[in-house]
Amino acid sequence: MIKDYLAKDILSLAKDVHQHYIDFIKSRNLDWPVVNWDDLSDDLKYSNIRQIEKIEDKLDFIDCYITNDPDDVNRIEQFNQTDCELLSIREHDDWVEERESSGWVYGLEKDLEKKMSPYMVSWNQLDELTKDIDRNAVEGIIPILNKRNIYVCKYPETTKDWIKPSYYCDSKIPLILAVTGHIDIPASEIKRIEDSLDELLGMIYDRYPNLDIIVMSALAEGADRIVAKWALGKGLFLAPIFPIPREEYVKTFDGIGYSSIEDSIRDFNEILDMDHVYSPLVLSGDRTNKVRSYRNLNFRFVVLH
């Protein structure tokens, strides 16, 4: 559910989003049709409203949030380049999902009647002008919200001597193997997983015998810990990464694969006390939503590494 002060202005904000798009067309001198809000089709009006409805989820994706407090110490005036690009990709993905739900499919040429579009593709397949449309939408978020006395803030990063080359591997560039997977993995499958990991490690060392390898894991129950324990058993380095502070993270464990939640927490702590384990990187995730914070961690760090 979106915040009340966002919901009450949602239509005005959607109109501002559309006007920002029109301003972009004019600024680029593009020979594209300019349609005022009142003349938009219902689905295009909804497309603008959708951007506002999902704005909190998108901001959470880059560790940001909204507030109506202009004096919030974490307030920002613009997104950094990395966050802007991540939000642009997310905006395109949301747009594709929205179109697919309305029956649109990929086509070489745009056809409104057949609901076909050449932009129903992944971000990397878009041309730069099309990407700039999404980037422009992202760049408009903060000024559009500010007009309605709504502000964007970014949680401060918390890092602790994490993944610095000179810290763990004599200034060589390491290979980072990031892991994510299912929680409920049958015990009968663990040996097969470890054998597959042994095979992968052998292939890497056959080609790069002197390579330093770091395994990145959130140490959630299931796949995260299976791979982490395997890595430490092989003498590899382990770089833990948590979506929220450690003392709150352990409260999200369900005890899956253990006799109790307490046993799961004990195992988690024992892994962190082992040799070759570095100080965890702790993100400022959503402390009220376990699924969202873990999802964002996986996409922003694990998948990207």
Contacts 24+ apart (CB under 8 A), 158-166: 158/245, 158/281, 158/282, 158/283, 158/284, 159/281, 159/282, 160/279, 160/280, 160/281, 160/282, 161/278, 161/279, 162/239, 162/278, 162/279, 162/280, 162/281, 163/214, 163/239, 163/278, 163/281
Q: Which tokens in the block code for residue 220?
A: 């959630």
Give the mean pLDDT of the chain. 85
Q: Is the pLDDT of residue 19 over 90?
A: yes
Per-residue confidence (pLDDT) for residue 161, from 0 to 100: 40
When mean pLDDT is compared over 36-50, 166-180, 203-217, the highest value belongs to 36-50
Return the pLDDT at 17.
95
What pLDDT is recorded for position 286? 54
Question: Is residue 122 scored above 50 in pLDDT?
Answer: yes
CA 294 to each of CA 126, 167, 198, 270: distance values in angstroms, whole numbers, following the listed order: 29, 27, 27, 21
Mean per-residue pLDDT for 102-110?
A: 91
Say what the pLDDT of residue 206 is.
Answer: 81
**213 vs 165 pLDDT, higher one:** 213
Whether residue 303 is predicted with pLDDT greater than 60 in this model: the reply is no
| DSSP symbols for 213-243 | EEEEE---TTHHHHHHHHHHHTT-EEEEEES
Does 287 score more than 60 pLDDT? no
How many CB atoms are located within 10 Å of the residue 209 CB? 7
CB hemisphere CA count around 14 (13 angstroms): 21
The residues near 183 (Cβ < 8 Å, ≥ 6 apart) are 220, 221, 222, 223, 254, 256, 257
Identify the pLDDT of residue 176: 85
Most confident of 15-19, 82-86, 165-169, 285-289: 15-19
Note the pLDDT tens digit of each residue in 214-268. Answer: 899 999 999 999 999 999 998 888 999 888 888 888 998 999 999 999 999 999 9
Instruction: Read off the pLDDT of each residue in 272-299 and give the average, rounded to a whole number.
Output: 71
Using the predicted structure, report yes or no on whether residue 160 has a pLDDT greater than 50: no
pLDDT computed for residue 300 by the predictor: 56
pLDDT (0 to 100) of residue 150: 96
> In the chain, pLDDT over 70 holds for what percent of residues?
87
Higher pLDDT, 164 or 143: 143
What does pTM read for this prediction? 0.55
57-65 mean pLDDT = 86
Q: Is pLDDT of 159 > 60?
A: no
Per-residue pLDDT for 153 more than 90? yes
